[in-house]
Structure 1
Amino acid sequence: MAESIEPDLILLDINMPLMTGYEVCRRLKQMQKTRAIPVIFLTANEGLEYEEIGFNVGAVDYISKPFNTAILKARVKTHVDLYRLQSSLQQQVDEQTKEIQKLNHEITYISASIAELKSKETGQHLRRVAEFCYLFCKFLGKDEAECEKIKMAAVLHDIGKVGISDEILNKPSKLDEDEWVVMKTHSMLGYEMLADSEFEMMRLAALIALEHHERWDGEGYPYGKKGEEISLVGRICAVADVFDSLLDKRVYKEPWEEKAVKEYFEMASGTQFDPKIATLLLENFDMFIYTWKALQTGKIAL
Structure 2
Amino acid sequence: MSITQPNEEIANRYTIKLTLAKQLVGSMIVVVRTPDEAYLAEAAGARAVIPWQMWYSSYKSAYGAAHGPSLNTIRGIMDRVTIPVVGRIRRGHIIEAKAMEGSYVNFIEEHELLAPITTTEYIPKHKFKYPFIAPAVDLKEALLRIKEGVSMVRTTYKSEDDVDIIYTFSVVNKIFNEIKTICEMDETSLMAWAAKTTIPIDLVKMVVRLKKLPVPFFAAGAVLMPIDVAQLMSMGCDGVVVSSRIFGIPNPETRLQDITIALEKYNDSDALAGIIENTGGYGKNFAL
TM-score (norm 1): 0.27
Higher relative contact order (CA 8 A, sep 6+): 2
Name the one with the larger strand percent: 2
Name the one with the larger helix percent: 1
Which structure has the greater CA radius of gyration?
1
TM-score (norm 2): 0.28
